[in-house]
Structure formats: structure tokens, C-alpha cells
Amino acid sequence: MQTEKEAEDDAPPEEYVGLSDFTASGEDELSFCSGDKLHVLSKSSSDWWWAELRGVKGYVPASYLRPEGAEEDPWQDEEYFGSYGTLTLHLEMLSDRSRTEAYRQVVLSNSASLRDKVVMDLGCGTGIISLFCAQLAQPSVVYAVEASSMADYTRQLVKQNGCEEVVTVLQGRAEEIELPERVDVLVSEWMGNCLLFEFMVESVLLARDRWLREGGIMWPSSAALTMVPCQADRYFSEKMAFWEQPYGLDFTPLQPLAQQEFFTKPKFSYLIEPADCLSAPSDVLCFNMYKLQIKDLEEMSAQFQFCVERPGVFHGFTAWFTVHFESLEKGGTAVELNTGPDSEPTHWKQTLFMLDKPVCVCAGDSIGGAVVLRRNPVWRRHMSITLNWSINSSTEETDDSQVGTKTFPMWR
Ligand SMILES: N=C(N)NC/C=C/[C@H]1O[C@@H](n2cnc3c(N)ncnc32)[C@H](O)[C@@H]1O
């Protein structure tokens, strides 16, 4: 095995740029800031490279770097579709029974109406929804569109399950591929954390405008982002209270660091208990998938007014989403996939937004305010969420800790 020194002598250094800040956590690691130009001296492993910055050498995480000069793709498609070319994410989604059964139920309950229909499964992944269509109904054709390298395996799965007569797998981005005809049904599982993260919904809208025939069906047909003010004792004690007295020592000087590290960004995959909800939840944003336009996604805002139903600590807000699949049959019942705390947990769980300072609230208090989602103008799969709130206590007079505002990057 070559040492770093030997490897270093072999290859000329390559110029890389830091994509974001990195703080070394081992003495052989090298810290750098976003934008720093590093010389990569050897790539001894795929994850950690031996690099030099301003005369100092050390290991750096390869995922934090991009080659100097390589234009950074605002959609980060190489990384995005690369991640879907491996099984991890597909296993997570397929293991999510609540999510996958909901799509199965949609096909099953619309089986008769799907006969002879033309279906597009956008971002089919392993093809599970397309296979449900071929297995549980008799569509004339399902165009299973998948941009990642998983498409090769999807073709094998279609053949393996005897569905090649009905399912045609097309590898490519839904925005770019050519279909031989318009479709009657556009089905997709596009929802990201907080409903919109990854902004795959843009691809769904482009495909709708290009391939859905007049009067065609969108599945999901509608989507709603739901929020609620909540208590998050477990998370707060794990990440913040912990520093009060670990092993009898006072580590509170670390609390500003904990604030920065754990409460600045939203916490994905947080499972909130119904009892943690301080009030009834509210659908702050609702999307009609037939009318929604891409330009509507740049900035979305809503007011809210929560009436506190139980005394507790207002640690922050929790968000989740619900999507509906309208029935193909007139008057048929819609299928609902609800990712909230009162439903079967999904792989998304919920998203927690922690305030800087928790506030005690009493039943009868009201928490009014607004939420603004702003899509990142450069990094098109990212957004920020700004929350403004004011607490009108039914008992105490209003002082400054009753009003607040905080913006959370997701992730840029
Ligand atoms: N539900 C979440 N979060 N992720 C959904 C799952 C995303 C799947 O859809 C594929 N995909 C995403 N966008 C496109 C596109 N524009 N064209 C073709 N395939 C696409 C990804 O490669 C994943 O396999």
C-alpha cells in the first residue's frame, strides 16, 4: 500500500474548490472554507483525499470539493441522480410501507378505470408503481421514466416480473425524454422533505405541461404543507440541555456552538408525538397539481394563527405534508397519504424547526405569524424557510421573548 508521500510524488496536484466549510475533527484532517482552492495530492480513498492548503497538508472529505473550473450545476444532477443510482434510497422508500401501500391502493382502487390508459411514471426508481399498474390493472402502456443508472435494473425487474408487454422503461430526465404519445395519467412520487425539498416537483410540472393530455389525471392531484407549534423536549435536552451539567461539570460555554450546529438548519426525519403538538395543526400551503406553476415555487408564503390548547414549552414548529390522489371514477373516493404525527410513520417522518429560545406558553395563548418559503435562486433543489411569530398571552403582558423570527436554510 503506497504511503500518502509516495502517492503524492506520483501524481501532479489537482486543483479543487471547497463547496462548503469543513472543520477538521482529527489531527490528520485539514480544515477549509467554502471557496478555498486546495491542491489534491492523492486520492487514497473515494471519501477522503490527501490535500494541501496554504502549505498545510491533511485529509479532506471529497464530497466537500469540486474540481476547479468545473461549473457547479445548479441542479447538482450528478450528485442527485448518482445517489439514486444506488440502492440505499430506493430501499428506504420501498421499506416505507405507508408510502408504497398508498400508491398500491391508488392503482388498486382505480384498476377498472386504468384499463387501456396511457400512464407515465415519472422518476420510477425501481419501477414499483409501474409494476403495480401492470400487475393490478390493464393499462395499454406505462412509460417508466428514470434518469439515474437504476433504469438498467428497472428494465430487468420489469422483465423478471413479466411486465415487459405493458411497461416501457425510458432512461433520461423526464424534461428531456421523448414519448410517442401524450398520457392519460401522470403518476409520480416526487415529495421531498417538507414536501418541496429537492424540487423534483418542477420536473413533474414540466412533464405535465408537455405530456399530460387535456383532461388527464395527476397523481398526486393535490398536496398540502402542514405546520404546528410544538414542544421538542427530547431534542432540546439531547442537544442543548445536555451541556448544563455533563458528569457534574458546567459545559454551558458550548451552548452557543450547539445552537449553531443543531438549531440553525431544520431537523429532517424527526418523529414528533401527537402530545407534543401545542395546538391543532394548520395546512399553511395547498397545491393544486393541475394549476400549480413553476414560477409559483419561487416564493410561497402564508399566515398562521395557532390557539395553544395545552400548557407547555414552545420549542419550535413541526412541518409535514399530505397528498391526495383523486379517483379516476366520478365520485370515487380519493386516496390520502398523510405524513403527519397522527398517521403511520413514513420515511420522511416530520421536519422540526427549533427556535433559539424556548418560550413557556399556556392554554389559550395564541401564536400568530407567517411562514415564507423562498427557493434558492442558484441552487435549484434548495430553499429557505422563514418563520415569524408572536405570542399573545392570555395572562402575562407581552415582552420581547414573545416575538421572534428565524430563517432556516434547507440546505443552501
Ligand atoms: N420522493 C423523493 N424525495 N424522491 C423521489 C424519488 C426520485 C426518483 O426519481 C428520479 N428522478 C428525479 N427527478 C427526475 C427527473 N427529472 N427525470 C427522471 N427521473 C427523475 C430519481 O432518480 C429517483 O429515482
> What is the interface pTM, i.e. ipTM, of the complex?
0.99
- Is 41 a pocket residue for ligand 1 (Cβ < 6 Å)? no
- CA end-to-end span of the chain: 39
Model confidence pLDDT, tens digit, residues 152-181: 999 999 999 999 999 999 999 999 999 999
Task: Identify the active-site residue in 4, 101, 165, 198.
Answer: 198
Q: Which atom of ligand 1 is nearest to the CA of 206?
A: 16
Give the model's confidence band at 4: pLDDT under 50 very low, under 70 low, under 90 confident, else very high: low
- Beta strands at 14-18 and 37-42: parallel, antiparallel or unpaired: antiparallel
H/E stretch holding 370 reads strand 366-375
Does residue 397 carry a catalytic annotation? no
pLDDT at 299: 98
- Is 125 a pocket residue for ligand 1 (Cβ < 6 Å)? yes
140 Cα to the center of ligand 1, angstroms? 24
**Mean pLDDT, range 328-333, rounded to an integer:** 91
- Is 202 a pocket residue for ligand 1 (Cβ < 6 Å)? no
Q: Which atom of ligand 1 is nearest to the CA of 175?
A: 16
Does the pLDDT value for residue 394 go beyond 80? no
Nearest CA to ligand 1 atom 8: 123
Which of 73, 79, 81, 83, when mutated, tests ligand 1's pocket best, judged by the most ligand atoms within 8 Å of its CB?
Answer: 81
Model confidence pLDDT, tens digit, residues 278-293: 999 999 999 999 999 9
Nearest CA among 231, 341, 237 for reference residue 278:
231
This prediction's pTM:
0.84
pLDDT at 24: 93
Does residue 189 carry a catalytic annotation? yes
Architecture of domain 4-67: Roll (2.30)
Give the model's confidence band at 412: pLDDT under 50 very low, under 70 low, under 90 confident, else very high: confident
C-alpha span between 122 and 104 (Å, rounded): 16
In which residue ranges of the chain is CATH 2.30.30.40 found? 4-67
pLDDT at 21: 86
Q: Which atom of ligand 1 is nearest to the CA of 93?
A: 1
345 Cα to the center of ligand 1, angstroms? 22
In which residue ranges of the chain is CATH 2.70.160.11 found? 223-281+290-319+351-410
C-alpha span between 199 and 257 (Å, rounded): 31
- Is 128 a pocket residue for ligand 1 (Cβ < 6 Å)? no
With a pLDDT cut of 90, the percent of the chain lying above it is 85
Give the model's confidence band at 397: pLDDT under 50 very low, under 70 low, under 90 confident, else very high: low
Q: CB 271: neighbour CB atoms within 10 A?
A: 12
Least confident of 16-20, 39-43, 81-85, 108-112: 16-20
CATH of domain 223-281+290-319+351-410: 2.70.160.11
Architecture of domain 77-189: 3-Layer(aba) Sandwich (3.40)
In which residue ranges of the chain is CATH 3.40.50.150 found? 77-189
pLDDT at 398: 53
The partner residues of 321 in beta bridges, in order of sequence, read 225
**Mean pLDDT, range 61-71, rounded to an integer:** 81
- Is 96 a pocket residue for ligand 1 (Cβ < 6 Å)? no
Least confident of 39-48, 102-111, 199-208: 39-48
